[in-house]
Chains A and B, each alone.
Chain A
Amino acid sequence: MSLGSYLASLLPIDLAQGLGVTGRFFFMRKATIQYPDVKPVPKPRFRGMFGFNEERCIVCHNCAKACPIAIIHIRDHFEEIEVDGKKKKKKVLDRFDIDVKRCMFCGLCEEACPTEPVAIWLTTMSYEMAAYERNERLYYDKERLQNWDGVQPYPGVVSPEAGQLPNDPTGGKAAKPEERR
């Protein structure tokens, strides 16, 4: 190292530049969100807790087949009913269980559902489903999927029992995105 560059290296200009950057950040706005007083806002397409509507479901098993890890367990049986004097066979849903603790929230079940609007959806913007008992509370059957027992819904989101539509998890009741946050 030549004498000139040695002397130049004695002046810590590069270090001072770095100090300037952090010094400036000291006075800037902070990015912390004070959870749980303030909750982060998910976007409308956020894949969160399941919504399930038994009335719309036609028991086609598409969601169970599409699920990569096979956590949707469906049991049904045929019943004979009278419609307009003719005997018809109708599928009745016995069990529609989802093992949420294994779910990876990929959304393939929602994509596979053929009804319009879909009978199973993930765009509920709710992500607080934590429980103290793993196997009892994170295994949702038909009733719990619809009344959302054990789930803390995102503010404004109504439970599926209230007949909400997918992709509008608040059932038309929430503020527009511009008015939020």
Chain B
Amino acid sequence: MSHPELLEPFPDSEEMEISFGPQHPATHGVLRVQLRLDGERIVDAQPVIGYLHRGTEKIFERETYNGAIPHTDRLDYTAAATANQGLVGAVEKMMGVTVPPRAAYIRMMLAELQRIASHIIWLGTHALDIGAQSPFFYTFEEREKILDLFEEYCGARLTLNSMRVGGLPFDLPEGWTERCRTFIDQLPARIAEWERLLTKNRIWRLRTVGIGVISIADAVEWGLTGPPLRGSGLRWDIRKVFPYDRYDEIDFEIPTGEHGDTYDRYLVRMEEMRQSVRIIRQCLDALPDGPVMAKVPKVIRPPLGEAYFSVEGPKGELGYYVVADGSTNPYRLHVRPSCFINLQALPELVRGHLVADLIAVIGTLDIVLGEIDR
């Protein structure tokens, strides 16, 4: 792992070069940031990754399509359901399979529950890095309830393996819809509680307003997606722009920010949690009956071809590019990792800020090293 190219320092400058991480409580995984500091100001910051590389895309080449799904759980391990959704959506697109309506609605519910769970991790760890210790525990209490719902449905809490090509492996258990409804009915009050702790808090605002600003043009140029892009003001969400899985039948809004700073991204994610509650409520109300698996052969052998399919994960656009060669294993399965592409904008976001702001910016980008390193 060689040192990345940092900006050349001015001669006779007193700049210090420090490696921030990879073992650090605030980098959300094994991320190393190569910093060049002038006193306390950051002149340049290059992220160095690869400490969690497991060769997932190579593993995909020897797995069957259904066997690859547990591996997608482990990409973004905080948002397994949307990762599953991306892979099965890509294979279904290639095979031309449409999932039954009940399966589509349940998939949407799982994805939105997963979005809330992922944003909960983001909020807890972001607040913890900035110094507020308690929101971490309050938010994780709610996440426990979501994980309980997942456990009732598919048997696992984190690495769900909850979708198959053509639909879902099994139907909802008895009482799941009631428990889900109870949960989302009390969630907005909890979100309001967390906001009371943070949103108007002057210390929070001092630490996040004006930090890590990026304009819409720059964000689009860097390829940012998800809350970092929406925080700058662009209303771009795959669920609205290229709808999948019956999102076009559901009524919800895309929150955007104005200034593109950390505070706006925080507000965007909080509002996204509320919109997810709205989506889940509509799905529960409109849940159709029927099978949960389309008529697909037992052994999935897509015809020769390729497809790219992306979902709106909690961190951004998570895409899967699959190339099939007619056999049961994909020839190539490439993941478009949302966090990796968002992380590339880190030098742009922190230049000129202090070291303490670096931590706020890493938190606001909401990176998960599993997805970055694959």
Complex partner residue of B138 from A9, A25, A66, CB under 8 angstroms: A25
B156 touching A47, Cβ below 8 Å: yes
What residues of B have a CB within 8 angstroms of the CB of A123 in the complex?
155
A2 interface contact, C-beta 8 A: no
**Majority secondary structure of chain B interface residues (helix, strand, loop or mixed):** helix
A18 touching B196, Cβ below 8 Å: yes
B200 touching A17, Cβ below 8 Å: yes
Complex partner residue of A15 from B154, B156, B193, B201, CB under 8 angstroms: B201
A106 touching B138, Cβ below 8 Å: no
What residues of A have a CB within 8 angstroms of the CB of B201 in the complex?
14-15, 17-18
Q: Which of B129-188 contact A (CB under 8 A)?
A: 134, 138, 141, 144, 148, 151-156, 159, 161, 169, 173
Binds A, one of B66-74, B250-258, B267-275, B316-324: B66-74
Complex partner residue of B67 from A43, A47, A68, CB under 8 angstroms: A68
A45 touching B155, Cβ below 8 Å: yes
Number of B residues, CB within 8 Å of A: 31
Complex partner residue of A44 from B141, B156, B173, CB under 8 angstroms: B173
* Cα distance A46–B198 in the bound complex, in angstroms: 36
Greatest chain A CB density within 10 A among B153, B155, B156 is at B155
Q: Which of B96-134 contact A (CB under 8 A)?
A: 134
B161 touching A21, Cβ below 8 Å: no
* Cα distance A44–B154 in the bound complex, in angstroms: 10
Shortest beta-carbon distance from B110 to chain A in Å: 14
Q: Which of A1-49 contact B (CB under 8 A)?
A: 9, 12, 14-15, 17-18, 20-22, 25, 31, 42-47
Pull 10 A–B residue pairs with CB atoms less than 8 Å apart, ordered by A: A12-B202, A15-B202, A22-B134, A31-B141, A45-B155, A45-B173, A66-B67, A68-B64, A104-B70, A108-B70
- B→A interface (CB under 8 Å): 63-64, 66-71, 134, 138, 141, 144, 148, 151-156, 159, 161, 169, 173, 193, 196-198, 200-203
